[in-house]
Structure 1
Amino acid sequence: MKPNRRDFLRGCVHAALGGVSAYSALGSLGLLNAAMAAGTGTIFPDYKALVCVFLHGGNDSFNTVVPRDSSHHAVYAASRGALALPRQDLIAIDPLPDGLPGDTAQYGLHPQMSALAGLFNGGQAGIVANVGTLVYPTTQQQYQQGTVALPPQLFSHEDQANIWQTSRPDNANAAGWGGRIADLLHSGNPNQAQSMLVSLESQALFQRGDVVNQYVMSSYGVEEIGYLDSWGNDAGVTAFNALRQGGTQRHVFERAYATALNSSITNYEAIGAALNTAGDVGTAFPNSRLGNQLHMVARLIKARNVLNLRRQIFFVSLGGFDTHGSQQAVHPGLLGDLSQSLKAFYDATVELNLGNSVTAFTASDFGRTVSINGDGTDHGWGGHHFVVGGAVRGRRFYGRMPSLAQAGNPDDAGYGQLIPTIAVDQYAATLARWFGLGESGIDDVLPNLGHFASRDIGFVTI
């Protein structure tokens, strides 16, 4: 693969730093930062946020978006057996004439997803069909004959979740595509000392950048170092603060630790103060793990002007989608939480007059198999995803809905694992372009994008 601009700049800076001490190298990371983040040099005049909602375990999107006309539902029901949802229970969605699924079928959402169905029918949500990790467009014949490169370790949770978040199946050490976007755009924020990357789920690979460090917090607020506020501990606090003074440590690792610690303290003090100043949103959120995370994201967006940020990327998650068994007992509650939480979050952005400025999108390890294993499904490949926001060209399907036939299915890699027809690269590029990344930056972040015919799926309005 040809080298990209990011790799070239990194190599030049590393070469320039060769032969100097380790401390000088670490102290010169500002040079790397300036080179890597160089862009137009212009502060963004508007505000935009991306929110990745990661569904850990692999969501069964074929019981999320389900055919509801009699002929297509019959094919689905034959493949799904005991897990098939009755036609009459599905919540009808009504795509626009230019957004039909392309297979003549009519679709509905899972019975627990009325809130998200309302967003779709209202034009604030779209469905991106059969997305997955790919190196090149892949047909059934190419897959079975091994004539096209494939993502490594297909159907493995950890590997596929990682590739979804990096979109680099060729590089196991790559940073996340959210982090790489931030590396190129953070210079457009007025306050560059504050990270534009916030994860509500510990350290997220999606948010890992080469230059910009993600800030990790909980849905209940910032995590503080309680030791610094311990009553009657003045001597301890004085000693602690002396140890973390910049540039005073003898060992390179001690200096790196002190730098990271000081950055964390500065960040949590700034974010905590901004949250207090901005106050809460009025929109009610579900009292669930995902609902609480998205509630905090809404509060952080409300505090954007206090933090002086014009671009932010957030990562939230919901687990439990690895439904090998008991799917009928587990899956409805997960989809209900997803639906209600996304609706509340969209309502909060409208409350903040930012409905067109915030786009949320789902991601997951992979889809599930069309075939079942009794009362559950197995690891699949392609799956359907939702994009939500005022900038979304909603009430539309994007891409081609796959066949759900159990036998003679040209979309089936084998064992009911459907081959994706939209690559994560294309999904990511469409979001990155809306977010403000130029074409050369998109190529830097997504070097495999050129393998696919379309660079933009078209589900957001620029």
Structure 2
Amino acid sequence: MPISRREFLRRSMYATLGGVSLYSGLGSLRLAQAAVLQNNYAFSDYKALVCVYLYGGNDSFNTIVPYDSAIYPVYAASRGNLALAQADIQANNLLPAALAGGLPGGPPSDGGSYGLHPAMPELRGLFNAGHAAIVANVGSLLYPITQQQYQLGLVPAPPQLFSHDDQTTQWQTSRPDDANANGWGGRMADLLASANANPQFSMSMTLSGTNLFQRGAVVNQYAVDPGGVEAMSYLGNGPESWVAGGTTDDVNAYNALIRGPAPSNALERAFAASTSSAIDYYTVLLDALSQASAPTTAFPDTELGNQLKMVAQLLQIRAKLGVSRQIFFVSAGGFDTHDNQLAQQQGNLTQLSQALSAFYNETVALGLDQSVTSFTASDFGRSLAVNSGGTDHGWGGHHFVVGGAVRGQRFYGAMPSLLTTAAGNPNDTGYGQIIPTLAVDQYAATLASWFGVSAGDIAGIFPNLGRFNAPNLRIFG
């Protein structure tokens, strides 16, 4: 049965949104209608930020663990049957740089000795070599807040704490006060995109599907599959799912629809513009990647390893894409460990450690270790308190920043108390969750500053940053 032009586009949109070569976030029509931002940025160097998102909420208190005789017993009392063996942690000890006059960071603020989970020898090696840093007790915040202020409601806390969806939104936007905000990665891309030689090619590339972190008002994310760039199905095969045959005429008709006169309907215009761009970018990427050499580093054949392997290949073709700034998004799931945590986290952290290490080593091989910074993010930290076999949704947690430009081998921020709730932990909400002492804004603004965003524009991207006493954690040398 013949179908209308509008129906054809509607069905086509559903099909192409599942593809990997299409700008995502099409539902927000203002993205297609917004004017290009004007700014004065120009860069003579290259830099890339790689967000490594751990979906589900990583238990950082079993990731970075004390082993000294003073703090380990406190940790063990709180963790119960989830406590890792003291000898195993000591065998994976971290060797932080000594305090140095005028420099931030250094040993853990509580004076303890810490090691990494035994599944993370590769990341431990990066830290001890000075190529990774730990940022302590970061979380979504509206204002600095103490235990008493939280419990008595004297200072506003972010809404819907301990909810996966809400806290993921707040981590990826840094705006607990604005549920409709774009991502902080997307806001940076909007600001800096015109500095790229080819500003029409998206600064934001995702290897893990649509994400809020990269959603912008002008620049939107371009999705690439970890296995390579795939053509939209109509290119060569025709849209057989709704038009019989899939002949050349179908392809020509489809091209006429997306590249012809602008439709009157806003949704059709947005779809046509996004699809046209996706097809053009597909051609450019396919050609450029065909000339890229295989990575010299052996990447683990895991979800995260394969994503970062493709990021490394995309780094090779940066000049062909005409970009001096890029923002990548990769992710791993399975961190919502309400039960069976010991076994599940073993696998999760093995994957994270091996993938981050391989990716860093490949940036060294590419001569880009000073130009590429990877950082972790997650829904929230998990509760210090445990249930029978796992942990519950928490709040503050520790994160890793990896790269040659990082002032590594240091802890930044304040390590929280590991006392049980009953023992009077001053950092506890009262239910086993740890109150953050660093805001996502501070963590994100520090990365934005290294990326080249000016202090004035950082204040615009992170309007709540002025509420906190350290707008830049000085992680970079």
CA–CA distance in structure 2, aligned partners of residues 83 and 46 of structure 1: 46
Q: Please state whether the residue corresponding to 1:149 is helix, strand or coil.
A: coil
Shift of residue 448, structure 1, vs aligned partner = 0.4
Do the aligned partners of 1:278 and 1:306 also contact (CA within 8 Å) in 2?
no
Do the aligned partners of 1:368 and 1:383 also contact (CA within 8 Å) in 2?
yes
Do the aligned partners of 2:32 and 2:218 also contact (CA within 8 Å) in 1?
no
Quote the sequence identity (%). Answer: 57
Matched, 1:50 2:49: yes
Q: TM-score w.r.t. structure 1 length? A: 0.91
Do the aligned partners of 1:179 and 1:197 also contact (CA within 8 Å) in 2?
yes
Shift of residue 250, structure 1, vs aligned partner = 4.1
Matched, 1:416 2:432: yes
CA–CA distance in structure 2, aligned partners of residues 200 and 156 of structure 1: 25
1:150-196 per-position Cα deviation (integer Å, ceiling 9, x unaligned): 11100001000110000001100000000000000111111111101
1:260-302 per-position Cα deviation (integer Å, ceiling 9, x unaligned): 1101111121112111122322111000000000001111011
Q: Please state whether the residue corresponding to 1:378 is helix, strand or coil.
A: strand
Do the aligned partners of 1:412 and 1:418 also contact (CA within 8 Å) in 2?
yes
Q: TM-score w.r.t. structure 2 length? A: 0.88
Matched, 1:218 2:225: yes
What residue identity is the alignment partner of 1:274? A
CA RMSD, Structure 1 to Structure 2 (Å): 1.5
For 1:322, the equivalent position in structure 2 comes to 336
Match of 1:306 among 320, 345, 354: 320
For 1:95, the equivalent position in structure 2 comes to 96
Structure 1 220/71 Cα, relative in aligned 2: closer, same or farther at 3 Å?
A: same
For 2:274, the equivalent position in structure 1 comes to 260
Q: Please state whether the residue corresponding to 1:369 is helix, strand or coil.
A: strand
For 2:445, the equivalent position in structure 1 comes to 429
- After superposition, residues 394-405 of structure 1 pair within 5 angstroms as 394-405=408-419
Shift of residue 360, structure 1, vs aligned partner = 0.2
CA–CA distance in structure 2, aligned partners of residues 391 and 59 of structure 1: 25
What residue identity is the alignment partner of 1:415? Y
CA–CA distance in structure 2, aligned partners of residues 361 and 300 of structure 1: 18
Match of 1:197 among 204, 207, 212: 204
CA–CA distance in structure 1, aligned partners of residues 164 and 218 of structure 2: 27
Do the aligned partners of 1:246 and 1:255 also contact (CA within 8 Å) in 2?
no
Matched, 1:339 2:353: yes
Aligned length: 432
Shift of residue 248, structure 1, vs aligned partner = 4.5
Q: Please state whether the residue corresponding to 1:278 is helix, strand or coil.
A: coil
Matched, 1:453 2:469: yes
Shift of residue 421, structure 1, vs aligned partner = 0.4
CA–CA distance in structure 2, aligned partners of residues 355 and 263 of structure 1: 31
CA–CA distance in structure 1, aligned partners of residues 282 and 458 of structure 2: 31
For 1:242, the equivalent position in structure 2 comes to 256
Matched, 1:162 2:169: yes
Structure 1 254/28 Cα, relative in aligned 2: closer, same or farther at 3 Å?
A: closer
Q: Please state whether the residue corresponding to 1:457 is helix, strand or coil.
A: coil
Q: Please state whether the residue corresponding to 1:58 is helix, strand or coil.
A: coil
- After superposition, residues 147-186 of structure 1 pair within 5 angstroms as 147-186=154-193
CA–CA distance in structure 1, aligned partners of residues 58 and 261 of structure 2: 48
Shift of residue 242, structure 1, vs aligned partner = 1.5
For 1:39, the equivalent position in structure 2 comes to 39
Do the aligned partners of 2:185 and 2:213 also contact (CA within 8 Å) in 1?
yes
What residue identity is the alignment partner of 2:411? F
1:32-89 per-position Cα deviation (integer Å, ceiling 9, x unaligned): 21xx3x22253x1000000000000000000000001022000000110110001111
What residue identity is the alignment partner of 1:317? S
For 2:386, the equivalent position in structure 1 comes to 372
CA–CA distance in structure 2, aligned partners of residues 321 and 180 of structure 1: 27
Structure 1 28/408 Cα, relative in aligned 2: closer, same or farther at 3 Å?
A: closer
Shift of residue 395, structure 1, vs aligned partner = 0.3
Q: Please state whether the residue corresponding to 1:430 is helix, strand or coil.
A: helix
Q: Which has the higher helix share?
A: 1
Shift of residue 328, structure 1, vs aligned partner = 1.1
Q: Please state whether the residue corresponding to 1:164 is helix, strand or coil.
A: helix
CA–CA distance in structure 2, aligned partners of residues 210 and 369 of structure 1: 35
For 1:17, the equivalent position in structure 2 comes to none
CA–CA distance in structure 1, aligned partners of residues 187 and 376 of structure 2: 19
What residue identity is the alignment partner of 1:445? I
- After superposition, residues 75-154 of structure 1 pair within 5 angstroms as 75-90=74-89, 91-98=92-99, 99-154=106-161
Structure 1 54/449 Cα, relative in aligned 2: closer, same or farther at 3 Å?
A: same
Matched, 1:391 2:434: no
Matched, 1:282 2:299: no
Structure 1 410/41 Cα, relative in aligned 2: closer, same or farther at 3 Å?
A: closer
CA–CA distance in structure 1, aligned partners of residues 476 and 156 of structure 2: 30
Q: Which ranges in structure 2 are unaligned for 5 or more consecutive residues?
A: 1-28, 100-105, 239-245
Structure 1 455/27 Cα, relative in aligned 2: closer, same or farther at 3 Å?
A: closer
Shift of residue 216, structure 1, vs aligned partner = 1.1
CA–CA distance in structure 2, aligned partners of residues 248 and 167 of structure 1: 36
Q: Which ranges in structure 1 are unaligned for 5 or more consecutive residues?
A: 1-24
CA–CA distance in structure 1, aligned partners of residues 259 and 332 of structure 2: 39
CA–CA distance in structure 1, aligned partners of residues 266 and 374 of structure 2: 40
CA–CA distance in structure 1, aligned partners of residues 209 and 59 of structure 2: 25
Q: Please state whether the residue corresponding to 2:70 is helix, strand or coil.
A: helix
Shift of residue 26, structure 1, vs aligned partner = 8.3
Do the aligned partners of 2:31 and 2:216 also contact (CA within 8 Å) in 1?
no
Shift of residue 28, structure 1, vs aligned partner = 9.8
Q: Please state whether the residue corresponding to 2:259 is helix, strand or coil.
A: coil
